[in-house]
Amino acid sequence: MGEIATSDRQITLYYSSKSTRAKQTLAYAKAEGLPIQEIDILKTPLTGTQIVELATRLNIPVCDLVNQEHSSYSSQFEHHNFSTDDWIKMIRHHPEIMKQPIALRGDLTILVETPTDIIKI
């Protein structure tokens, strides 16, 4: 069992409050009446264990959680092959570079590509 608690009765949404897609996803979910637990990764820092668990739930390596196209990433880092620990540290210190929003419900976890994806979960 991981560090992230999930429920079949509500959706846990990891998002950045600066993300337009996240704001649209939240608005859509609320309009649909979906029960949402909001976790703003800019206000509530993720632990290394939570970052690894999110990547595992999405069936991707931790490095794929990093949006290397984000302006914060490209202005501070060069494209590189970092270790998993390095990627975790980068996300922890610069949460805005993490791909999001990520929605969890029970055993399901999805990376929300469009706001309407939230109904898939």
CATH number of the domain within which 94 lies = 3.40.30.10
pLDDT at 6 over 90: no
pLDDT at 27 over 70: yes
How many Cβ atoms sit within 10 Å of the Cβ of residue 13? 24
Cα end-to-end span (Å), the chain = 20
What sign does the CA torsion over 121, 38, 34, 19 have? negative
> Which domain range does residue 50 map to?
11-120
Report pLDDT for 86.
94
DSSP state of 69: T
Residue 1 lies in a domain: no
Q: Which pLDDT tens digit goes with each residue over 47-97?
A: 999 999 999 999 999 999 999 888 888 888 877 778 999 999 999 999 999
Residue 73 lies in a domain: yes
Residue 4 lies in a domain: no
Identify the H or E element spanning 38: strand 36-40
Contact 13, 26 (CB under 8 A): yes
Report pLDDT for 70.
85
pLDDT at 1 over 60: no
How many domains does the chain divide into?
A: 1
Residue 107 lies in a domain: yes
Report pLDDT for 83.
93
Residue 5 lies in a domain: no
CA distance 67 to 2: 24
Contact 95, 65 (CB under 8 A): no
Residue 3 lies in a domain: no
